[in-house]
Amino acid sequence: MIINEAYELEALNLHGLPLAGLRIDAGENDYAVHFASPNPAHGGSATVSLGSGSFHATGLLNSRFNTLRVQTKKGGIHVAFDGLSLEHTMTVHLHSCTGDILIKLPEHIPARIIFRTVTGTATASADHFLPVDSTIYETGSYHRLDSPHIEFEVDTLLGDLRLTGI
């Protein structure tokens, strides 16, 4: 599915749609995406590229995507990895020049978050995010190599990163 500014959609409920991929390209619009139920298609990727808009996504475990890439120049990024379960390893790239990034993740999901920034800061408001050093956080279950996990790469110039539970 490809969405560009010509559609001027702001909220997308992708309940039960079989998506092999999702691409959103927009200049100034804010977008909200919700996966209320599992995507019947497995794998694929989602790419979101926004100019000055913000991106909010919920139910991302239900997306069943292998890769999620979100980039915005002046907007924030808020992503919630709730849903049924993590069935395979997922790679997530989040980039915002000036906006803040919020990642909501349940305690039981194994994850590593690598944060690169020029002036931003990272804060974790849930105990299951363990700082490895000033740029890397992991959940307590990350080192169980036998289970699927999420690898995050987060980049900002001026934006902050907030990690919280669900």
**Backbone conformation region of residue 52, classed left if phi is above 0, alpha if psi is from -120 to 50, else beta:** alpha
pLDDT digits (tens, 9 = 90+) for 143-152: 876 789 999 9
pLDDT at 29: 81
Q: What is the mean pLDDT of residues 58-76?
A: 94
Q: What is the mean pLDDT of residues 82-86?
A: 90
pLDDT digits (tens, 9 = 90+) for 27-53: 888 889 999 999 998 889 999 999 888
Q: Where are the domains of the chain?
A: 2-164
Asked if the model's pLDDT at residue 135 lies above 80, the reply is yes
Q: What is the mean pLDDT of residues 54-76?
A: 94
pLDDT at 109: 92
pLDDT at 30: 87
Tokens of 64: 């069943």
Asked whether 97 and 71 are in contact (CB, 8 A), the reply is no
Q: What's the mean pLDDT when you consider all of the chain? A: 89
pLDDT at 9: 55
Spell 104-116 as b/e; 16+ CB within 10 A means b: bbbeebbbbbebe
pLDDT at 7: 53
List, in sequence order, every beta strand (DSSP E) within 5-160.
11-13, 21-26, 31-34, 45-50, 55-58, 67-72, 77-80, 90-96, 101-104, 111-117, 122-124, 129-131, 136-139, 150-156
* Whether the predicted model's global pTM rises above the 0.85 cut: yes
pLDDT at 106: 93
Helix or strand holding residue 164 (H, E):
strand 161-164
